[in-house]
Amino acid sequence: MTDLTSHAVHVRKVLIAKDISRLPLAASWHRCVHLHGLDPEMAPKPQRVTDIELRALSEPLGPLLASATPTLERLRRAIGNRGVCVLVSNAQGVPVLCWGPETDMPDLRKRGLCEGVDWSEAHSGTNGIGTSLVERRALYVRPDQHFYASPLSITCVSAPFFDDHGTLAGAANITYYGRASEQAPVGLLMSSISDATRQIEMDHFHQTFADNRIISIPGETRSGGILIAVDRDDVITGATRGARRAFGLTGAALTAGVIAHDLFAKSLNTLDDTLQGAEYSVLRRWLIRNGGNVTATARDLNISHATIKRKINTHSLDRRRLN
């Protein structure tokens, strides 16, 4: 049997055994056969979209890719350019960006490692881009873990990224091919691609909500950075996927309106949004701005000196300990 045939036999044996826990990507193999109706012995030729279709697919990702360029450039420099290429796809698994050694590009295009090729799991079987999009997690696929065997040894590491609405937007992929495939440092690459996609999400969020105040919350970051955009009225205008998961925020809730103060106060059980509390906050902020100067603060608030002294006493504000 040829290597291509023996790989197909191996795939079928794993699926017949019905023990998908033994191999990390056997669940993807199962989807390929039972959900997508693919045959491991009948690898399809790369399916390319037209140039016009590619431009249409690339356009929605334009703002995100613009903010992602510095991160992608750093990633490309870090991995070098020998036997490795970087692909960025849309949410349907079609790469809209490809960086690779110029001398290798003709062969990479022949094998589909380029823009405009359908790398969805439904078409191309288990692969880095398609499977990471389906499973919505960072993963690596070694040569023997692809659904289809390939004459060219390929190891790829991919991770999905999400837009400012927390919606799946695409995937970033590092592919080592040929001899380089066997030495691909997948552990290091997994960390690199995960960090890169989180940075892409955060940079895009900051760019999208540049006119808003951005609140960053520490915490578990496998879902991306936990960032919230807030307008001048303390209304949340945007939230990353990580923030939506951490606080249970939905698109409908954000459209209806969510107050940032309420969100954090409820989690800390310290909700106190009264007129008296608001007045205390205003007084404290202006006294801090004026270094505790009561006369300047009264002037800025357009109230009399007697009134501000009474309010300071009412709220027990100590000008010497404003912070």
Instruction: Give the domain-ending residue among 181, 205, 229.
Output: 205
Q: Answer yes or no: do 158 and 240 share one domain.
A: no
- Summarize pLDDT for 232-252 with one digit per residue, the tens: 888 999 999 999 998 999 999
- The pLDDT value recorded for residue 236 is 94
Confidence label for 314 from pLDDT (cuts 50, 70 and 90)? confident
Instruction: Give the domain-ending residue among 172, 205, 238.
Output: 205
List, in sequence order, every residue forming a beta bridge with 235; answer none if it has no partner.
Answer: 259
Q: Answer yes or no: do 161 and 131 share one domain.
A: yes
Rg (CA), the chain: 27
Asked whether residue 183 carries a pLDDT value surpassing 80, the answer given is yes
Q: Answer yes or no: do 215 and 285 share one domain.
A: no
CA triplet 77, 83, 85: central angle to 5 degrees?
55
Choose the weakest-confidence range: 40-49, 96-105, 223-232, 235-244: 223-232
Burial class for 111, CB neighbours closer than 10 Å (0-12, 13-18, 19+): middle
Q: Answer yes or no: do 127 and 220 share one domain.
A: no
Structure tokens at 30: 């199962």
Residue 177 CA to its chain's centroid (Å): 25
Smallest CA-to-CA distance from 209 within 222, 192, 228 is with 228
Instruction: Give the domain-ending residue among 205, 225, 249.
Output: 205
Q: Answer yes or no: do 139 and 68 share one domain.
A: yes
In whole numbers, what is the pLDDT of the chain averaged over residues?
A: 88
Asked whether residue 272 carries a pLDDT value surpassing 70, the answer given is no
Q: How far apart are CA 190 and CA 173, in angstroms?
A: 10
* pTM (whole model) above 0.75: yes
- Summarize pLDDT for 54-82 with one digit per residue, the tens: 999 999 999 999 999 999 999 999 888 88
Domain that holds residue 244: 209-268
Burial class for 228, CB neighbours closer than 10 Å (0-12, 13-18, 19+): buried
Q: How far apart are CA 226 and CA 228, in angstroms?
A: 7
Structure tokens at 284: 């404290």
Q: Answer yes or no: do 194 and 87 share one domain.
A: yes
Q: Answer yes or no: do 121 and 183 share one domain.
A: yes
Asked whether residue 168 carries a pLDDT value surpassing 70, the answer given is yes
Task: Give the chain's domain count.
Answer: 3
